[in-house]
Homo-oligomer: A and B are copies of this chain.
Amino acid sequence: MEEKTFQTVQEIGFTSLIQKIRNYSGTDRIEIEKGIGDDASVQIIDNDKAVLTTSELFLEGVHFDLTYHPLHHLGYKIVTAAVSDIYAMNGDPVQILTDIAIPNKYSVQMIEQFYKGVDAACKDYNCQLSGGDSTASHQILAISVSAVGVANKKDIIYRNGAGKDDAICVTGDLGGALAGLRILMREKEYWKSNEGQQFQPDLQGYEYVVKRQLVPAARMDFINMLSESDIKPTALIDLSQGLLADCKEIAVQSGWGVELFTPAVPISVDTRKVADEMKEDVDKYAFYGGEDFEMLFTLKKDDVEKFAINFDDFAVIGRMTESKNEFRINTGEGDSIQIDL
């Protein structure tokens, strides 16, 4: 069969693209314990120490909108995103590198605001901004952020370790970041239809969800707790793509199916309020909304109660099933929706 010569990435999807990219990985280095396919790569140093590395790209107009995203919040957020990937391997983020391409319309003072946010996040997460690059840009602000962390090899938690019947758990609450985005986009629309006026968004009553969108926090407390716990999750990922997508990652890599119980998914009242106002289904915020940066993990089912003694900000939302490649959503109202992985 002749191969199509122009196929857009949208047609095949980014997951399929990444599968293709795996074929172009150069030399297999024996030090690389984990390459493409987890929250961070894992490079072994001297048998028992590991270096964890992650990198991400953020473009104006695609990943952020400066109409409503203050630059210092943006600086904070990109560090959160990078650090969260290191936490998702159960690692300690040591350094952050940022590359920034700056269009002429941005002043030095604006770029300093951005770096003030980077600084604040690095202080909160106990890591150091240690490098990066800055260049000119013709059109958009473009930022890449890398994080380098360390872990003992034996402590690393991968996406592929979930076992049959393991409990699927999540920290905090979900969908808040998307709810915040909905509010900010509504305010922006309002502002655009009243052009010429100063943009003063009315965010009263929406502080929680807006904060979830603009300055999300990575779950350092969860990782700190793990270092003192004698129970270790069997699999771990951070919620950056959305619950379904990230859950699917654990299921596919671990080789099992998933059953989620919709009523168990933690959603804040603030997030529910936004979904009601928007006349949208709040479950979709939780299932498809990304950027919550909560931790999604699996525990042996007998460990759940003991785990809860040291850490209570999590909920059991489902279980790993033996039906490989089956993703079942149990709505709790007698319905059960099946999605093929």
Contact = CB atoms under 8 A, between A and B. Distances in A.
Given A26-B128, A46-B45, A127-B26, A55 B144 contact: yes
Given A24-B116, A61-B139, 6 more contacts: A5-B109, A9-B134, A17-B108, A23-B119, A35-B130, A53-B53
A278 B95 CA distance: 45
Contact of A115 (B21, B111, B134): B21
B135 A25 contact: no
- The residue among A11, A36, A108, A119 with the most chain B CB atoms within 10 A of its own CB is A108
Interface in A70-122: 94-102, 104, 106-109, 111-112, 115-116, 118-119, 121-122
A251 B5 CA distance: 52
Contacts of A17: 108, 111, 134
Contacts of A281: none
A136 B26 contact: no
B108 A36 contact: no
B128 A53 contact: no
Contacts of A127: 26-27, 29
Interface residues of A, number: 86
A108 B5 CA distance: 9
Nearest to A104: B8
Interface centre among A6, A53, A63, A99 (most CB of B within 10 A): A53
Interface string A121-158: 11101111111111111111010101010100000000
Interface in A1-54: 3, 5-12, 14, 17-18, 20-21, 23-29, 31-32, 34-36, 40-41, 43, 45-46, 49, 51, 53-54
Contacts of A7: 107-109
Contact of A63 (B57, B94, B135): B135
Contact of A53 (B5, B122, B130): B130
A99 B57 contact: yes
B35 A128 contact: yes
When A and B form their complex, which 7 residue pairs have the shortest distance between CB atoms, in order from nearest?
Answer: A26-B122, A144-B144, A24-B119, A57-B99, A41-B130, A24-B115, A35-B130
A203 interface: no
Nearest to A42: B130
B45 A97 contact: no
A341 interface: no
A154 B81 CA distance: 34
19 contacts: A6-B109, A7-B108, A8-B104, A8-B106, A23-B119, A26-B118, A29-B127, A31-B94, A35-B129, A36-B132, A41-B95, A43-B148, A45-B150, A55-B98, A55-B133, A57-B142, A59-B137, A62-B101, A144-B144
